[in-house]
Amino acid sequence: TTRLPVETRDYVFAITGYPVESWKDNPPDKAAPGLDDSRPFIDACLRLADTRTINDPVLISSADWAPWGVQLAAHYNPTVANRLFTSAIGQLSGPLNAERALIVRQRGGNFGSRPRYAARIGRETRAEANALCGEIRGAGVPCTVFRNR
């Protein structure tokens, strides 16, 4: 999967909500609703397309989207990003150690055009995210606040 062009990787993620690695290592049980067998193929495809919406670029298996995030880990592989997040969050006491990762795909910065996955704790406001990050830093775990896009 690492040899797939960036465009292909982006397409798979945009359409299915799962990164390419998920399809290779652990394919989802049901990626999309089935077609209506009682309709002609083209009609069934069009009807299904009418029900689809484009969502924010967040992994399906991650926590709910929030406009702000406290980033604890990032990696080119979403599974590794989640594992790094789990390791970091495990160093915290409750209730912080029960937070789930919001996995957000991102590009740019000093990492070039290759997408990477950030593991963050989602919050509704920047103030909430900053307060949480301060609490996490106080426990000795590094973090940074980002706007989720």
Is residue 92 one of the residues assigned to a domain? Answer: yes
Concatenating the DSSP letter of every residue in 32-75 gives SPPP-TTS-HHHHHHHHHHH-----SB-TTSPPP-SEEEEEEEE
Classify residue 76: in a domain, yes or no: yes
Write out the residue range of the structural domain in which residue 122 sits. Answer: 68-147
pLDDT digits (tens, 9 = 90+) for 32-91: 678 889 999 999 888 888 876 654 455 555 677 789 999 999 998 888 898 899 899 989
In tens, the pLDDT along 77-127 reads 888 898 899 899 989 988 888 888 898 888 776 667 778 899 999 999 999
Whether residue 125 lies inside any domain: the answer is yes
**136 occurs within a structural domain:** yes
Banded pLDDT at 11 (limits 50, 70, 90): confident
Total domains in the chain come to 1
Q: Is residue 87 part of a domain?
A: yes
CB-neighbour burial class of residue 72 (10 A; exposed 0-12, middle 13-18, buried 19+): buried
Within a domain: residue 131?
Answer: yes
CATH of the domain at 139: 3.30.70
| 80 within a domain of the structure (yes/no) | yes
d(CA 18, CA 9): 10
